Amino acid sequence: MTPTHPPGPGRARGFTLIELLVAMAIFGLISALALGGLNAITTQQATAKNRMQRLAGLQRTMRFLSEDFAQLNPRHVRDILGQGKEPPLIVDAVDESTIRLSRGGWRNPVPVPRGTLQRVQYQLDDGVLVREYWPVMDHPLGMEPRRTELLEAIDEIEIEYLDGESRWQTRWPPLSSQDNAEFAYPRAVRITLTLADWGEIVRVVDLLP
């Protein structure tokens, strides 16, 4: 019987098949864990980015609404038929999510000849809040407004107006004052956006001088 000698310094000892299989299994497990962690980090980054973009869109929308109402101007405009006057602030009689208003302070960074007043309209179009404005106050029939989509995934928008008796009205001008030729400012405006993902967002704009 030939004695078995341990491998000497000059001999190389290879891996057995079982050792290779165990090493491959450990490597595969570590790779799977690393890939899962990377996917989780990527998903979290994408979610955080989407939330930041959503928040930026909401802040931009509220800034537009707040500035437009805060700079409300008592300028009447001709109606679309050119036969009568439309109040400076009016809620559409058919669609209460459509609001038109006259505002001042329209910035003119490029020195072109135009006024500083602007006729603005807000409406909810298939879950998207849209801001539109016309280049001129008394726009003729058929003139298309310039359109900006502000925020999507909106279930509802509600704008309420605080009258002189501290009562919130859903329409403006109130029915009791529509026959009055002098425009009455609401004391404040309460804007409520109901979002599909974040629920109700409320902003109150004080209109008192």
Question: Domains, the chain, ranges and CATH?
Answer: 66-206 (3.10.610.10)
Q: Name the percent of the chain lying above pLDDT 70.
A: 89
- 52-69 in b/e form (b: 16+ CB < 10 A) is eebeebbeebbebbbebb
Most confident of 33-37, 106-110, 142-146: 142-146
The pTM of this model reads 0.76
User: Amino acid identity, residue 80?
Assistant: I
Name the residue with higher pLDDT: 141 or 199. 199
Question: Computed over its alpha carbons, how large is the radius of gyration of the chain?
Answer: 32
Residue reference for tokens 């009205």: 169
Report pLDDT digits (tens) over 116-173. Answer: 899 999 999 999 999 999 989 998 888 899 999 999 999 999 999 999 899 999 999 8
Q: Is 29 left (phi over 0), alpha (psi -120 to 50) or beta?
A: alpha
Q: Is the pLDDT of residue 180 over 80?
A: no
The whole-number pLDDT of residue 184 equals: 86
Q: Name the percent of the chain lying above pLDDT 90.
A: 49
In this structure, is the dihedral angle defined by the CA atoms of residues 166, 172, 175 and 178, taken in order, positive or negative? positive
Query: Pick from 198, 190, 207, 184: which is nearest to 155 by CA?
Result: 198
